[in-house]
Structure 1
Amino acid sequence: MNISIRKKALAAGAAALLSTGLAACSGADNDTPGTPSSASVGPSASSSSASRAYRDGAYSANGEYGTQNSSIGVSVTLDGGVVTDVDVTPHATNETSRDYQERFADAVPDLVEGKSVDAVHLDRVAGSSGTPDGFNAAIDQIKEEAAA
């Protein structure tokens, strides 16, 4: 009887993982390269405290991502823990990558300005799925530097 319960639990867990994996993949083909899409601004998985205090000021960091030493520059101005200005600087030299980074950079201000820095965490933006990882890494560095 104990083996039967264990088998049912394993089957339920496998089904949950499969459905989560399918849900994660389901929107990937709907993104066209020129359009902003499925950006989420919410708590970052890496933020250790949602109610941190931050020093006001301008901060910059480079966020690395991917397997080919890709990076993107991020500069933000914080006021009361809120992003009041953001500038994203593409670093890609490859034409295709540069195009993704430029479209990403153009879309970011509308997505993060006016938001708490603790709530800024981007997913797929403007058809780019890798660049947000670099952006999020830079934001995490900035949060560490600005922490009061």
Structure 2
Amino acid sequence: MIRTTAVPRPVRIGTALLGVAGIATLAGCAGGATSSDAAPADTAAPAASSAPTSTSGAAAGSGSYKDGEYEATGQYATPESVETIDVTLTIAGDTVTAVQVTGDPQAAESKRYQGEFIGGIQSEVVGKKLDEISVSKVAGSSLTSGGFNKAVDTIKSEAKA
């Protein structure tokens, strides 16, 4: 005779969340994805929201993006919470000339990783073409990179010439 014991509901929910976080972690570490690659829908949180904070209104030379400053919010899941970061990019001639990232960590560990990410992101993106930006890990933070990439994708959509 086989005996089964019911697993308490909090344990089932925790296990499910851990599984989702594991998948998100693996997806964030995959790297090499381009904006044309199909990506599974993120059921944990909306991808990002954006609004240009100011634009010059003129297209840069023969570029694909309008010059200006754009802001978007990217979200990503951790084992403890859903985190957000605000990303502001200044674009001139299809090139990122400035970046500012502001975190809003919900978990203690997220505070550390967001801080490290914010400290290292400038050297990864400033001076690069907007279409070339896709970070996978900055200063040891791979999950924050996923939120950043989602925000950048939203900014690309908003800045299209």
CA contact (8 A) 1:52 1:147 kept: no
Higher strand share: 2
Give me the identity figure in percent. 41
Superposition map of 1:1-148 within 5 A: 45-47=34-36, 53-66=64-77, 68-148=81-161
Deviations 1:2-55 (A, max 9, x none): xxxxxxxxxxxxxxxxxxxxxxx9xx9xxxxxxxxxxx8xx861158xx96100
- Give the 3-state SS of the residue equivalent to 2:66 in structure 1: coil
CA contact (8 A) 1:112 1:120 kept: yes
CA contact (8 A) 2:63 2:93 kept: no
Q: Distance in 2 between matches of 1:127 and 1:62?
A: 21
Mark the runs of 5 or more structure 2 residues left unpaired by the alignment: 1-25, 38-61
Q: Distance in 2 between matches of 1:63 and 1:106?
A: 17
- Give the 3-state SS of the residue equivalent to 1:136 in structure 2: helix
Dislocated runs of 4+, deviation >4 Å: none
CA contact (8 A) 1:63 1:71 kept: yes
Give TM-score scaled by structure 2 length.
0.61
CA contact (8 A) 2:117 2:138 kept: yes
Change (3 A) 1:44 1:139: farther
Deviation of 1:127 after TM superposition, in Å, equals: 1.1
Q: Distance in 2 between matches of 1:100 and 1:127?
A: 7
Instruction: Figure out how many residues of one structure are paired with residues of the other and give that number.
Output: 107
- Give the 3-state SS of the residue equivalent to 2:128 in structure 1: coil
CA contact (8 A) 1:44 1:119 kept: no
- Give the 3-state SS of the residue equivalent to 1:126 in structure 2: coil
Mark the runs of 5 or more structure 1 residues left unpaired by the alignment: 1-24, 29-39
Q: Distance in 1 between matches of 2:99 and 2:68?
A: 12
